[in-house]
Amino acid sequence: MSLVAAALVAVTALIALDESGPASLIRHAYLVPVVAAALRFGAVGGGLAAATAALLSAPLLLPEIERSGLTDEAVEGLVTFAVLGLVGVLSGALRGRAGRHRRRYEILVTIQRTLAGEAPLDQALARLRAALADRLRVDEIALVARDGERLAVAGGECVAARSLVARVLDTGEPAFVSDTGHDARPRRAFATPLISGGYPVGVLAVERNGEISVGERAALETIGAHVGVALENARLASRQRRFAAELEERVAAVRRELEELDRAKSAFVAIASHELRTPLTALQGFSEILALRRLPPEEVTRLAEVMRREARRLARIVSDLLDLSRIERGLEPALCRVPVKIEPTIEATVDLFRQWTATHLITTECEPSLPVVDADPDALERVLTNLISNAIKYSPAGSAVRVGARALAGAVAIEVADAGRGIPAEVVHRVFEPYYRVPDAAGAAHGTGIGLAVVKALVEAHGGTVRVDSAPTIGTRVTVVLPAPSGPFLDTPRRSRVG
């Protein structure tokens, strides 16, 4: 205000120095500080600035009127002061109205931003109440919104019966209380409904130690209408998001079911192809030998025994397909456990591979006096067959495949190692997933990706564990650990066999 006063004094001094006196055109410069005061301080500031300009000019204008009467110059001076007063008051009033509109728009933007999130209704009301409290310039504010059968309240514990808020909720009409009677000074209260679709969905209530003008009440009613619409929009958006999430979940569930059905069909073909190939190959090879060659009787007997064993194994594998179905449903495979010696089982399985695999050197290395394990012989043979078959498929021709067994504390560890390309570290943990194949190895050899999944299920059904250790360009080692019933084991040198 001091700058405005200085500007008024400066204009007055310039008028006094001008020879034209009160009729000087410089008097119009009073408009600048008067308008500035009105824009800065409102109608009161503009009016005071105009009055101050009139008082400062009075010593110049009044003597002129006394000497010459109401001349044209004197009338122009009086009109100038009247215009200054009018401009000051109107400019201040327009400034006040513009400020109120600006605050109203800011409040509406605050409402939209506050209710645009996905927060629960109670949290959204609390945030909205805090935002409105900073802008409405009231002493107390409360928000109430319907949430189904209950009322969400921000700014209080609950809605008391027969209270101002309860009455507005029931009637859907705004209500004003000139004095709540709680303080010595009159405390005004006003409550307006939050309207959405013509129905009150809540209440906005305020209290102030001082007047709540008619204009402010109208503004609060407008704000209440906007809050109601924003609340309803937020509720509809939340409901839409919830319905979309539920629909997406249902579609995903149906898609998973269809994928499971398709996978089950493909799994049957893949499992049959993978699991039946080895015994069928043995039967085909030995039958061709018998058909095309003349062999000594003892050799014929030996081959016939192998074929009989493979035929029985083929029948058991068909039964094992049903076990795999149980595994996929989360059921353990049915096992027929008997005491099994590890070394003869390894040697028999390796001999089978040696007879039809000439591209790899298969060696065995088993500790003597290995404990007997309680296992299903056929399941154990299937585990070894899968591991050795994978080692041969995914290692270069001419490399060695090592099969060994060693005693642990209360267990026996069976290892199958190859010198293949190895498995990348980032996908080692996925090799036991059904139908998964390492991308680099998928084109190197044919396979269905279920062999290791079958191995893991069978080993765990025995109470054992299986682990894969692999390094690119070095090779892969699969270790199967099966529990042994009992027995202290001697740390004696291993017996090796190469063939």
Same domain membership, residue 340 and residue 471: yes
Q: Is 475 within the bounds of a domain?
A: yes
Same domain membership, residue 466 and residue 387: yes
Q: What is the pLDDT of residue 406?
A: 94
Q: CATH no. for residue 141?
A: 3.30.450.40
Closest among 26, 89, 82 to 54, alpha carbons compared: 82
Closest among 497, 472, 282 to 394, alpha carbons compared: 472
Which residue, 42, 73, 108, sits at the end of a domain?
Answer: 108
What pLDDT band is residue 493 in, cutting at 50, 70 and 90? very low
Q: Is 252 within the bounds of a domain?
A: no
Same domain membership, residue 162 and residue 46: no
Same domain membership, residue 485 and residue 412: yes
Same domain membership, residue 135 and residue 96: no
CA 8 distance to own-chain centroid: 64
Higher pLDDT, 401 or 224: 401
Higher pLDDT, 316 or 458: 458
Q: What is the pLDDT of residue 465?
A: 95
Same domain membership, residue 89 and residue 234: no
**Region for residue 482 given its phi and psi (left: phi exceeds 0; alpha: psi -120 to 50; beta: otherwise):** beta
Say which residues have a Cβ less than 8 Å from residue 208's Cβ, sequence separation at least 6: 137, 138, 139, 140, 187, 188
Q: Is 276 within the bounds of a domain?
A: no
Residue 128 has, within 13 A of its CA and on its CB side, a CA count of 35
Q: Is 283 within the bounds of a domain?
A: no
Q: What is the pLDDT of residue 20?
A: 65
Same domain membership, residue 18 and residue 125: no
Same domain membership, residue 475 and residue 380: yes
Strands 400-408 and 411-417: antiparallel
Share the mean pLDDT of the chain.
79
Q: Is 174 within the bounds of a domain?
A: yes
Q: Is 113 within the bounds of a domain?
A: no
Same domain membership, residue 145 and residue 175: yes
Element (DSSP H or E) covering residue 279 = helix 214-292
Q: What is the pLDDT of residue 151?
A: 84
The answer to whether 28 and 87 have CB atoms below 8 angstroms apart is no
Higher pLDDT, 374 or 182: 374
Q: How far apart are CA 297 and CA 242, in angstroms?
A: 78
Q: What is the pLDDT of residue 489?
A: 38
Same domain membership, residue 348 and residue 486: yes
Query: What's the mean pLDDT in 145-157?
Result: 81
| pTM attached to this predicted model | 0.45
Rounded to 5 degrees, φ, ψ at 43 are -60, -40
Per-residue pLDDT at 443 exceeds 70: no
Task: Report how far apart, in Å, the C-alpha atoms of 209 and of each of 150, 155, 189, 190, 429 are.
Answer: 31, 17, 9, 12, 70
Query: How many domains does one find in the chain?
Result: 3
Give the 3-state DSSP-derived string for 344-367, with helices as H, strands as E and coil as C: HHHHHHHHHHHHHCCCCEEEEEEC
Same domain membership, residue 485 and residue 348: yes
Residue 123 has, within 13 A of its CA and on its CB side, a CA count of 5
What pLDDT band is residue 422 in, cutting at 50, 70 and 90? confident
pLDDT > 70: percent of the chain: 83
Closest among 266, 389, 376, 259 to 320, alpha carbons compared: 376
Name the token pair of 111.
């409402």
Which residue, 231, 247, 263, sits at the end of a domain?
Answer: 247
Q: Is 344 within the bounds of a domain?
A: yes
Higher pLDDT, 304 or 444: 304
Per-residue pLDDT at 344 exceeds 90: yes
Q: How far apart are CA 117 and CA 114, in angstroms?
A: 7
Q: Is 372 within the bounds of a domain?
A: yes
Element (DSSP H or E) covering residue 153 = strand 150-154
Which residue, 225, 247, 269, sits at the end of a domain?
Answer: 247
Q: How far apart are CA 451 and CA 275, in angstroms?
A: 8
Same domain membership, residue 347 and residue 492: yes
Residue range 444-456, pLDDT digits in tens: 565 556 678 888 8
Name the token pair of 318.
């068909």
The answer to whether 475 and 422 have CB atoms below 8 angstroms apart is yes
Query: What's the mean pLDDT in 193-199?
Result: 81
Return the DSSP state at 145: E
Q: What is the pLDDT of residue 399?
A: 92
Strands 373-375 and 400-408: unpaired
Range with the lowest mean pLDDT among 76-90, 240-254, 375-389? 76-90
Question: Look-up: residue for tokens 């099969």?
Answer: 403
What pLDDT band is residue 362 in, cutting at 50, 70 and 90? very high
Name the token pair of 25.
């055109």
Domain around 485: 335-498
Closest among 227, 195, 25 to 111, alpha carbons compared: 227
How long, in residues, is the chain? 499
Strand runs (DSSP E) across 313-399, as ranges? 338-340, 361-366, 373-375
Rounded to 5 degrees, φ, ψ at 189 are -140, 140
Q: How far apart are CA 203 and CA 224, in angstroms?
A: 7
